[in-house]
Structure 1
Amino acid sequence: MTNANRHLQPLLHDLVGVVLAPTSTLSAPDGQIRPAGVQGVFHADARVLARAELLVDGREPEAISHHTDGPHGARFVSLIRWLGDPTPDPTVRIDRIRRMTPRGLVEEIHVASTATAPVQAEITLDLGCDLAPIEVVKSGGATTDLEPKSGEPGQLTWSADGTTVVVTGEDATVVDGFARLSWPVRLAPRTSTVLRWRLLVDDPRAVVVTPPAEPAWSRPEVRADDRRLTRLLDRSLNDLRGLRLAETAAPHDVFLGAGVPWFLTLFGRDSLWAARMMLPLGTDLAASTLRVLARRQGTRIDPDSGEAPGKIMHELRRHEFTVVGDGLRLPAAYYGTVDATMLWVSLLHDAWRWGLAEDQVTDLLPHLEAALRWLAEHADADGDGFVEYVDTSGRGLANQGWKDSFDSVRFRDGSLAQAPIALAEVQGYAYQAATNGAALLNAFGRPGADRWLDYADTLAQRFRSRFWVDGPDGPHPALALDRDKRPVDALTSNIGHLLGTGLLTPAESAQVAEALATPGLAGGYGLRTMSARDGGFSPLSYHCGSIWSHDTAIVIAGLAREGFTAPAAELAEGLLSAAEAFDYRLPELFGGDDRATVGRPVPYPAACQPQAWAATAAVALLQAAVGLYPDVPAGTVRLRPLAGAPLGAVDAQRLRIAGTPVDVQVDRTGAATVTGLPAGLTLVREQ
């Protein structure tokens, strides 16, 4: 059954993204921005340019290539074969070089001729602006172009709701009656010219801005036998540079925006995980992310927004986020996340262990105590001893773990679980937050540590008795408990997040590692979100069979940390193969098709790219390979690289512990050396 009138989310898998947050551009591979789908220039939750089509004598150039041009740029190469010499070789070409700037972009149009005779043409740029909210674009809603106003020569202006967009063409003229810039071009034989235009946005209501300083994290120099790792890391760090954001009122506290185009703002869970995976490059990003979220920590009970005292928020927008067709209406500051509060606690702990200065930790301890109070007083609404969620507003997210689509929590037979839902990995996060919180309270002379150690011990026993199920591939933790406290028995990637939390015994960790290595989960280019043997599986389901880059990286990190080299290496190989197929820009997610069936991963057509926690997956892979695990307060650094060096030799220079550059070399046998450790730290080698 079909509905021809339903709104469809536009596809973007084949578009080219360029970003300097909070501004980004999505264009076709030929560089054209056409008035269709999600193409356009976006700034802080609004599409500020919906069209930028370049024509030569009224015709489109013929595109032949595109590639990145620095961290915030792209180059598009096209031919003008109807001009120039009448030979098989093209003699007139256009290089369209686009670079994002704070609050806009600049574009150079290089027109070059190697023809033997003069070339003459009119080059035009057709423009359009609708200032459509991102949620309208995302839901495929209708938009209407605004009328431009002409100002200075070569300038067009659009305004609505306090936002002003100005496009200026250097030495261009505005064609009367059209939103069109025009340049006459005359080239002598073997000459070239450069045309320029720029976009500038004035948006005083934006809640996020471009940070004023350069990235604070280290940019390591990495050599590896597997060149895919170095290429992925290089591309990812460029993308992360472009995803940096700050709040308007606190421009020096940097966090990572979740992803282009839908989520280029503050997302609690995404920003926390991304900062956590970036810790091998320094603690500054973690510290500023913690401060940003602490300033917005919940203080009251609000069922509409999901706010509660001590709770860490989920999402920040300039206004209510309403998605047409599915009843989703999220307040501008939305707290509908079950896990961000616990992840905040563990990021503070992990940053402390990587060497975050004690005064910065001390400043955040009141927020730590508030987060733990939320865990004690608000996270377990029905008192069964597990952390669960339910959307009581009817307008928020039905599922509030990282798999937050409405149909993500399914039984093995494919039927949907009903809320309240207690997710498996959330219990692991709660256990880890309790033990990490206790460590911080003890270290800084705060009361309450024993209470949280008791909480963790009780939770582990309760989890052991209620969550484990027997599946076709053997015993494993259930995905969740449903409202009737029945185990939701699907085999999913969620269980991999339990590794390294401390919730599992060594024997249970081994069983989880074995389940993760089954073909149903590990048979694609990474870790499937749901086993292919389960009834709800679909390779292009958002959360029930697709592969998420960050999810795979988190599980690789957990496997590596606990010494399960073989499954970690298999998943790493899949993820690196996917990175190669996607030109080393890992998308948010991609299809979970079997590697034996498809020669390359199938794109998920609405996936964000670049995306923060997908990009930080490269750093997680690097850390797993070199096996560096510091505990600065305890004065130790554990060294546990992947046994046998399945990724080959890796030489990583300028990792950072306690602000000090540290180098790690792993040879082809897996033997590792570390140089440059800060004074007072002892290296502990582990097998």
Structure 2
Amino acid sequence: MADLQPLLHDLAIALCAPTVVLSGRDGQVRAGGTQGLLHGDLRLLSEAVVTVNGHEPEAIGSDEPAADRARFTGLLRRLGGPGPDPTAWLRRDRVVTATGMSEELSLVSTDGVPRHCVVEVVLAADFAPIDEIKAGGRRSPLVPDGPRWTADSAVAEVTAEGAEVVFDGSRVRLRWAVTGSATVRWSLRVSDERALFVPGGVRLPRPEVHADDRRLTALLDRALGDLDGLLLAEREHPGDAFAGAGAPWFLTLFGRDSLWAARLALPLSTGLAGGTLRTLARAQGTRHDPMTGEAPGKILHERRRDPFQALSASLPAEYYGTVDATALWVCLLHDAWRWGLAEAEVRDLLPTLRFALDWITGAADSDGDGFAEYRDESGRGLANQGWKDSGDAVRFFDGTQAKPPIALAEVQAYQHEAVVRAVALLTALGEPCGELAEWASALRSRFRDRFWVSTSDGHYPALALDGDKRPVDALTSNIGHLLGTGLLSDGESSSLGALLLDSSLASGFGLRTMSASTAGYSPLSYHCGSIWPHDTAIVVRGLQRSGQATRAASLATQLLSAAPAFGYRLPELFAGHGPAETSAPLPYPASCRPQAWSAAAAVSLLVAFLGLDVDVPARTVTLAPPRPSPVGALRVRGLPLASGTLDVSIDASGAVTDLRLPPGFSLLPEQSGE
């Protein structure tokens, strides 16, 4: 039997990129699975098991109070007094840094008897790479050289003040003899000369947010802490922060994920957008390479320390197998400019923009049919290269899988939006646009002619065109990504908005990736029925931008309803079951947590509840809150805007009761919508 991918849903996770620590909810880091300290795609600690007098504490509680911290409490019943009440326990406080971790072990005794005991921590390291861990592989621990392990270019070194250090084969044992209540500490410092990335070195602004529905503030607080914990930068460019995609599998640069995370977080930071744009610009493709998927003008998919072996793919360390990141890069540049990215920074990126537009309007359409499509030329890369990139993600209504080359609906929308936004940006900067507007207009016509289908679910754009140019007619969340891109008419947008809020897609906890009425639907499928928070947030954003504020708020509230089940740390994805099937959403057990675009989704919810839009070059703000407000009264103070901040309050009815704008800004009249 093949090894199985280890599960993550029941683990405690603390991180400060590029380091993440995963353990059981009892605090113990055990051999096997995904547990351990991972740094730059290597596991530099694979065991950390605590005992007191040879016995493990009996876990009674755990907490993750911040992205980089975890706390555990376990009973020490063999140390306690004779009565039924526990009188001795161990508190384990963990702190993760970019270069390692530390723990404080506090033994507490309340019965007044000064008992003698031995606290021991057993440590081991296997230096397993992330793809081997993800595949369920196991390897033997390394033999330490003193209180340290070394392999390749990586080092992990233990320190423990006051401890007796015993070397036991491949394990290091730290021992403290203590009496009564006592506290001991140990730490691990790690380094890797081959690591590509360093900490992002910045923190996102934290506006003050108060809402009657406290789930919103709890979600934002958790999400912004997690985004801070995920920020990375290239070693050579430490000032250009971007969001690593997610822990533990994808804690590295991902074009699509990092771009969407920066785009959803724009109301808080144009700096993150600028860093992401520049980092990906430096890696923009310059040549044709079928093995890596590189092409001139194309934006990178992912970059890792070493090649990555997936279940059905063998990816090079620098891989370009994405059909959408190039258009998303252009869209982020435009949106960052609208939110206030300095004109000088924007102009510096115009050569990258034009090179990207060359690919979008040229090589992206590999067979000349007028649509962008993908095919894995190497035979070793990703079979699907949109955001739903699992091998079975593109299905017909009857469940059969589509064959390449695949032209995805949302990719056409991204490309249309990228070209339209590029025209707006270039025109505002006094730069020539050529025939870009005509190209976008022609795409709109082609899309309307070729993509729309009718099934028992309704009339809507197909998920894709397959290799025979047949519409792949499954009803999926992908159609929600078309909203607000300019590809659809107002009537078409409204029709799709109603369809997206139908219970076959809108589960009650968020948007399913595939309609429950299709043959391929499975609530625990990675892309064919599960719920991805970022996917829901993108559709919320599209509904708002297309004038459907009430529908946007309704869908946003569904995602808000899911957040408490995950301790307000929205995972990469979760199961597609709705409230009629389960009182709380069920996890997808191998899901990353935290995930950058899932964390950034919280910012989109805030924007939707405010009905906020900003145009810094025009010095205008739009506020169109849904009525009534789905989160009750809402007050925001200190939202970054140009060189100042925006303060706004709305009451439970959705009316704006207080507004303070930076000097020179004006409020546009509220536009009527759905």
After TM superposition, the score normalised by the length of structure 1 is 0.96
Letter in 2 for 1:158: W
Residues 490 and 534, structure 1, Cα contact 8 Å, conserved in 2: yes
1:114-157 residue CA offsets vs partner (Å, 9 max, x unmatched): 1221111111111111100000000112312111122xxxxx11
- CA drift of 1:664 comes to 1.8
Provide the rounded CA distance (Å) in 1 between the counterparts of 2:480 and 2:291: 32
CA contact (8 A) 2:211 2:632 kept: yes
User: What is the one-letter code of the residue matched to 2:152?
Assistant: D
What is the percentage of aligned positions where both structures have the same residue? 56
Q: Find out whether 1:197 has 2:181 as its counterpart.
A: no
- Give the distance between the partners of 1:77 and 1:315, measured in 2 at CA: 39
Check if 1:80 corresponds to 2:65. Answer: no
1:497 maps to 481
Tell me by how many angstroms 1:67 deviates.
0.8
Q: Which moved more, 1:627-636 or 1:32-41?
A: 627-636
Question: Could you tell me how far apart the structure 1 residues matched to 2:502 and 2:80 are?
Answer: 60
Matches within 5 A, 1:255-334: 255-323=242-310, 326-334=311-319
- Give the conservation status (yes or no) of the 8 Å contact 2:299–2:329: yes
Task: Tell me if 1:208 matches 2:191.
Answer: no
Pick from 456, 466, 470 the counterpart of residue 450 of structure 2.
466
CA displacement at 1:562 relative to structure 2:
2.1
CA distance in 1, matches of 2:455, 2:548: 21
Cα distance change of structure 1 residues 474 and 177 upon mapping to structure 2, 3 Å threshold? closer
Deviations 1:80-106 (A, max 9, x none): 011031111111111100001121011
- Counterparts of 1:79-228 in structure 2, within 5 Å, are 79-150=75-146, 156-178=147-169, 179-188=171-180, 192-211=181-200, 213-215=201-203, 217-228=204-215
Q: Which runs of 5+ in 2 are unaligned?
A: none
Is the CA contact 1:662–1:674 (under 8 Å) kept in the aligned structure 2?
Answer: no
Shift of 1:401: 0.5
Paired residues of 2:648 and 2:660 also in contact (CA < 8 A):
no
1:674, distance to aligned residue in structure 2 (A): 5.9
Q: 1:659 Cα deviation (Å)?
A: 3.3
Please point out which of 633, 651, 659 is paired with 1:649.
633
Letter in 2 for 1:589: L
| SS at structure 2 position matched to 1:470 | strand
In 2, the alpha carbon distance for the partners of 1:428 and 1:628 equals: 23
- Deviation per CA, 1:439-489: give whole Å up to 9, x if none: 122122222x25111111111111111111112132111100001111000
For the 8 Å contact 2:252–2:302, the answer to whether it is kept is yes
Q: Note the 1:290-439 alignment, pairs <5 A.
A: 290-323=277-310, 326-439=311-424
Equivalences for residues 566-585 of structure 1 within 5 A:
566-585=550-569
Kindly indicate whether the alpha-carbon contact (under 8 Å) linking 1:54 and 1:60 is maintained by their aligned counterparts in 2. Answer: yes
Candidates 67, 73, 81, aligned match of 1:71: 67
CA contact (8 A) 1:13 1:606 kept: yes
- Residue 594 of structure 2 corresponds to residue 610 of structure 1: yes
Task: Report the residue type matching 1:27 in the other structure.
Answer: S
Q: Secondary structure at the match of 1:633?
A: coil
Q: Secondary structure at the match of 1:574?
A: helix
Q: Deviations over 1:397-436 (max 9, x none)?
A: 1001000000000000000001110111111101100001
> Which of 232, 246, 252 is the matching residue for 1:245?
232
What amino acid is aligned across from residue 295 of structure 2 in structure 1?
A: A
2:144–2:172 contact (8 Å) kept in structure 1: no
Q: Which one is further off, 598-607 or 630-639?
A: 630-639
Cα pair 2:334 2:425 within 8 Å, conserved: yes
What number of residue pairs does the alignment pair up?
A: 670
**Does structure 2 conserve the Cα–Cα contact (< 8 Å) formed by 1:23 and 1:103?**
yes
Structure 2 length-normalised TM: 0.98
Task: Output the CA distance in 1 between the equivalents of 2:178 and 2:70.
Answer: 26
Partner of 1:637 in structure 2? Answer: 621
Q: CA deviation at 1:327?
A: 3.8
CA drift at 1:180: 3.2
Q: Is the 8 A contact 2:208 2:637 kept in 1?
A: yes
CA positional deviation for 1:176:
4.0
Q: Is there any run of 5+ residues in structure 1 with no aligned partner, and where? A: 151-155
| Pairwise CA distance, 1:159 | 1.0
Distance in 2 (CA, whole Å) between partners of 1:350 and 1:255 is 16
Q: Deviations over 1:233-284 (max 9, x none)?
A: 0011111111110111111110001001000000000000000011111211
What SS does the aligned partner of 1:373 have? helix
Task: Report the 3-state secondary structure (helix = DSSP H, G, I; strand = E; otherwise coil) of the residue aligned with 2:248.
Answer: coil
Distance 1:414 1:70 in 2: 42
The aligned runs of 1:35-46 (5 Å cut-off) are: 35-46=31-42
How far apart in 2 are the matches of 1:561 and 1:284? 23
Matched position secondary structure for 2:504? helix
Q: Provide the alpha-carbon RMSD of the alignment.
A: 1.3
Q: What is the rounded CA distance, in whole Å, between the counterparts of 1:98 and 1:184 in structure 2? A: 18
User: Which 4+ stretches in 1 moved above 3 angstroms?
Assistant: 673-676
Q: Distance in 2 between matches of 1:588 and 1:504?
A: 29
C-alpha separation in 2, matches of 1:674 and 1:310: 46
Which residue identity does 1:587 align to in structure 2?
P
CA distance, structure 1, for counterparts of residue 579 and residue 340 of structure 2: 41
> Secondary structure of the residue that 2:253 maps to in structure 1?
coil
Bigger CA drift: 436-445 or 271-280?
A: 436-445
Tell me the secondary structure at the aligned position of residue 399 of structure 2. coil
For 1:407 and 1:327, the matched residues in 2 are separated by 11
2:356 aligned counterpart, secondary structure: helix
Q: 2:552 aligns to what SS in structure 1?
A: helix
Say whether the 8 Å CA contact 2:646–2:659 is kept in structure 1.
yes
Q: Tell me the equivalent position of 1:153.
A: none
Q: Name the CA distance, whole Å, in 1 between partners of 2:547 and 2:323.
A: 29
Distance 2:74 2:138 in 1: 31
Instruction: Kindly provide the CA deviation profile for residues 149-208 of structure 1, in whole angstroms up to 9, marking residues without a partner as x.
Output: 22xxxxx111111211111222111224242323333324xxx22111111112000001
| Corresponding letter in the other structure for 1:186 | V
Q: What is the deviation of 1:538?
A: 0.2
Task: Determine which of 10, 16, 19 is the counterpart of 2:15.
Answer: 19
C-alpha separation between the residues in 2 aligned to 1:517 and 1:674? Answer: 31
Q: CA deviation at 1:392?
A: 0.6
Answer whether contact 2:553 2:609 (CA < 8 A) is retained: no
One-letter identity of the residue aligned with 2:235: T
Distance of 2:437 and 2:651 partners within structure 1: 40
1:31 lines up with 2:22 in the alignment: no
Match of 2:160, as an amino acid? G
Equivalent-residue separation in structure 2 for 1:606 and 1:404 (angstroms): 16
